[in-house]
Structure 1
Amino acid sequence: MPNRCVFCGSDAPLTREHVFGKWVAKIGLDLSPLEHHAGPLNALPRHLGIQPPYRQEVRDVCGACNNGWMSRLESAAQAVLTPLILGDPGTIDVGEQATIAMWAQKTALTAMLLSSKEQRDKGYGLAPSEYRALYDNRESMSPLPGSQFWAGRFEGDGAFAAVRVTPLTVRIPGLAEPHVPQAYAATIVLGALIVHGVRFPPPARSIDAVMTYGFPQLWPTSSQVDWPAGQVCTAETFVSLADAGMLRVGNGEIQLQPWRHAAHLPQSVIDNGMVKVRALCHKHDVFYPPALLQEALNGTFYAFIVACECSAYIVHTDADRVRFRAAGPPESISQMYEDMPGDEYVFRDRNGEFICKQLPA
């Protein structure tokens, strides 16, 4: 059976489609080669090599889609988003907001195709029905029903760019976590621009969310978006925002949370006086002192470095778990740790000394 276009289902020859439109690499962003990765949220990502940014391609789209509605969408986005990506204050008019929200949705769907075929065969990624639904919606030049999007400012390494998609569940006090996700969050960073959205595919019931970061709502359209507005997102707060941590529903009793099977590692245990947690490689364990758990219960959180045979990691403690924030060669991770703000502390116990940085409140 021939490979088919993920959007329209055509068996016409497949073409190369850029995750970010070719225009992104031509507007003045830093094009210095960088390491690129793709893959699941709770495992070591697939290494895509060192290459110039904004030029990653997938080969899952037919020529009619690539050169037709997708090309028109990129052209419309380029005209509106270029100054914002470069950090220049601007506006997104009411008549442009549906198109920009659809562009963000298309970009997230396309980026998910960078994961390996093996990962996708195991269920990682978005349902094929999402691709077909966006194709069926192409003439409207608007995002899929049950979607909300916001636009904010990102400040950090000028070379940082990302597309992150997180499966979400709707959590209600007293009820067990659903067995399957009801929604997903999609977050895109390009230059100074960050676009964050949530989508509730059928048969899930759409829930209106509020962005506590103060980002102006891009979709559904209400009024002109003046950019930038709200709090600034940084590399340190990116993961929390991308995991829907800045979204609130109603009075707060109902929560949107990352689907545990996709976003969380197995629960940690105490082993020989240390907390043991599975590393992102899923082959080895890493360890840290239990004192950090007590500190977290008291509302004080830390960042530290751990390592296994596969990689070094930066880990943050949180109110209910530890989160792996970065993975890579020891020298790169050490430099990232050194560049982080915060006072350094040493925890001592019978296992020796453990060095970490206190995270800003």
Structure 2
Amino acid sequence: MPKRQKPLRHCIFCGEARGMSREHLWPDYLSDYTSTGDNSRTTVGMGFTHDDNGIAHILPIETRERPGSALQFTVREICEACNNGWMSALEERLKPLLLGLMRAERMVIDASEAALLATWATKTAMVNEYLSSPGADPTPQPTCTAEMRRFLMDRQLPPPNTKVWVARHFGRLHVDARRGQLSIVEQPNPAWTGGYEVSATALTLEQMTLLVWAADSPRAVAAALDPDVWRPIWPNIQGLRWPPPRSASDADVENVAYRVGACYPKVNTVLVQRDDIAANIRREKALSTSPVISS
């Protein structure tokens, strides 16, 4: 009896069904320029739902960590043509700029370089969403849609509803990727349909941290960040001086990734209540200024 062949997977970027490759989250050449230490990738799932009394319940935070060297993290959701083609070319074009940023070398980053860095950061955040079998409970679904990934591949730019910042990092993290995700449902809906997803991914390489904020809907609103620490690189038409006057600590990196829910659109409800802290009920007007994960 002939051996049954496994169905070909579809590449998450080009959508073609063909042979997959092992795509590393980080460029291979980084192993010569960084000490990995004890690294992990952490995912936090957040969201809220409604009950019949018009109260939105903020769900408990789910945290998962993957220990081991971050430089060895790979996915099998990208075809060989994409991995060895435009993605490899993107990493090589970025290499001189990325190494300089990692060392906090003084420089002026022009608009085209900022766009290149933002494109690579967004691509890396998209790949990061597939390190833990997205969709298999309890792993959240990816925030970035197939259309967003195709947009980045075709235009070599971050897709709509994406923002990217860069910060000088000072701390114990060497190579680190962490992501927070918020699921938003604006109407009473037990099935969690009709909502949208927001995520923030912090990518740290030695003395540099990139923050990628992405949403699958234009209704989502990004939280404001300290401009003396976090410099916007997308959208950015002017470029910037590097490094910024102030650095981001390890705690700052964690906070920006997990404060993804600090600002989001008004919901059709009067009260919001945390399921894990029943006594904490906040008025709707406070949602735009109070982090959703604060206790």
Relative to the length of structure 2, the TM-score reads 0.72
Letter of the 2:171 partner, please give it. Answer: G
Tell me the residue number matched to 1:18.
24
In structure 1, C-alpha distance between the alignment counterparts of 2:121 and 2:293, rounded to whole Å: 31
1:322-353 alpha-carbon deviations (Å, 9 max, x no partner): 4xxxxxxxxxxxxxxxxxxxxxxxxxxxxxxx
1:71-104 alpha-carbon deviations (Å, 9 max, x no partner): 1221122221111112222232111222211111
Tell me the residue number matched to 2:270.
none
In structure 2, C-alpha distance between the alignment counterparts of 1:208 and 1:46, rounded to whole Å: 25
Task: Summarize the Cα distance change of 1:45–1:320 in structure 2 as closer, same or farther, 3 Å threshold.
Answer: closer
In structure 2, C-alpha distance between the alignment counterparts of 1:321 and 1:246, rounded to whole Å: 10
Secondary structure (helix, strand or coil) at the match of 1:73 reads: helix
Secondary structure (helix, strand or coil) at the match of 2:251 reads: coil
Task: Summarize the Cα distance change of 1:231–1:133 in structure 2 as closer, same or farther, 3 Å threshold.
Answer: same
In structure 2, C-alpha distance between the alignment counterparts of 1:187 and 1:23, rounded to whole Å: 20
Tell me the residue number matched to 1:267.
276
Q: 1:184-223, aligned counterparts within 5 Å?
A: 184-202=199-217, 204-205=218-219, 207=221, 210-214=224-228, 215-223=230-238
Tell me the residue number matched to 1:72.
89
Task: Summarize the Cα distance change of 1:148–1:43 in structure 2 as closer, same or farther, 3 Å threshold.
Answer: closer
2:144 corresponds to 1:125: no
Pick one of 21, 25, 34 that aligns with 1:29.
34
In structure 2, C-alpha distance between the alignment counterparts of 1:36 and 1:56, rounded to whole Å: 10
1:123-143 alpha-carbon deviations (Å, 9 max, x no partner): 61315x624432243232210
Task: Summarize the Cα distance change of 1:139–1:246 in structure 2 as closer, same or farther, 3 Å threshold.
Answer: same
In structure 2, C-alpha distance between the alignment counterparts of 1:222 and 1:207, rounded to whole Å: 21
Pick one of 55, 66, 74 that aligns with 1:57.
74
Task: Summarize the Cα distance change of 1:200–1:211 in structure 2 as closer, same or farther, 3 Å threshold.
Answer: same
In structure 2, C-alpha distance between the alignment counterparts of 1:116 and 1:7, rounded to whole Å: 16
Secondary structure (helix, strand or coil) at the match of 1:218 reads: strand
The answer (yes or no) to whether the contact 1:152–1:230 under 8 Å persists in 2 is no
In structure 2, C-alpha distance between the alignment counterparts of 1:246 and 1:211, rounded to whole Å: 13
Secondary structure (helix, strand or coil) at the match of 2:62 reads: coil
1:206-265 alpha-carbon deviations (Å, 9 max, x no partner): 657643343222011231211121532112222222234798xxxxxxx339xxxxxx98
The answer (yes or no) to whether the contact 1:244–1:256 under 8 Å persists in 2 is no
Tell me the residue number matched to 1:88.
105
Letter of the 1:268 partner, please give it. Answer: I
Q: Specify every segment of 5 or more residues in structure 1 that has no aligned partner in the other structure, as ranges.
A: 248-254, 258-263, 271-292, 294-317, 323-361
Identity percentage over the alignment?
A: 21
In structure 1, C-alpha distance between the alignment counterparts of 2:42 and 2:259, rounded to whole Å: 20
Letter of the 2:23 partner, please give it. Answer: E
In structure 1, C-alpha distance between the alignment counterparts of 2:235 and 2:188, rounded to whole Å: 31
Shift of 1:144: 0.3
In structure 2, C-alpha distance between the alignment counterparts of 1:110 and 1:14, rounded to whole Å: 14
Q: Specify every segment of 5 or more residues in structure 2 that has no aligned partner in the other structure, as ranges.
A: 1-6, 46-60, 266-272, 281-290
Task: Summarize the Cα distance change of 1:160–1:246 in structure 2 as closer, same or farther, 3 Å threshold.
Answer: farther
2:170 corresponds to 1:155: yes
In structure 2, C-alpha distance between the alignment counterparts of 1:36 and 1:7, rounded to whole Å: 25
In structure 2, C-alpha distance between the alignment counterparts of 1:200 and 1:319, rounded to whole Å: 17
Task: Summarize the Cα distance change of 1:216–1:71 in structure 2 as closer, same or farther, 3 Å threshold.
Answer: same
Secondary structure (helix, strand or coil) at the match of 2:236 reads: coil
2:62 corresponds to 1:43: yes
Shift of 1:21: 1.3
Secondary structure (helix, strand or coil) at the match of 2:174 reads: coil
Instruction: Specify the structure having the higher radius of gyration (Cα).
Output: 1
Letter of the 1:57 partner, please give it. Answer: T
The answer (yes or no) to whether the contact 2:41–2:66 under 8 Å persists in 1 is yes
RMSD across aligned C-alpha pairs, in angstroms? 3.6
Q: 1:101-180, aligned counterparts within 5 Å?
A: 101-116=118-133, 120=136, 124-127=140-143, 130-167=145-182, 180=195
Relative to the length of structure 1, the TM-score reads 0.60
Letter of the 2:64 partner, please give it. Answer: P
In structure 1, C-alpha distance between the alignment counterparts of 2:131 and 2:222, rounded to whole Å: 30
The answer (yes or no) to whether the contact 2:176–2:205 under 8 Å persists in 1 is yes
In structure 2, C-alpha distance between the alignment counterparts of 1:40 and 1:245, rounded to whole Å: 10
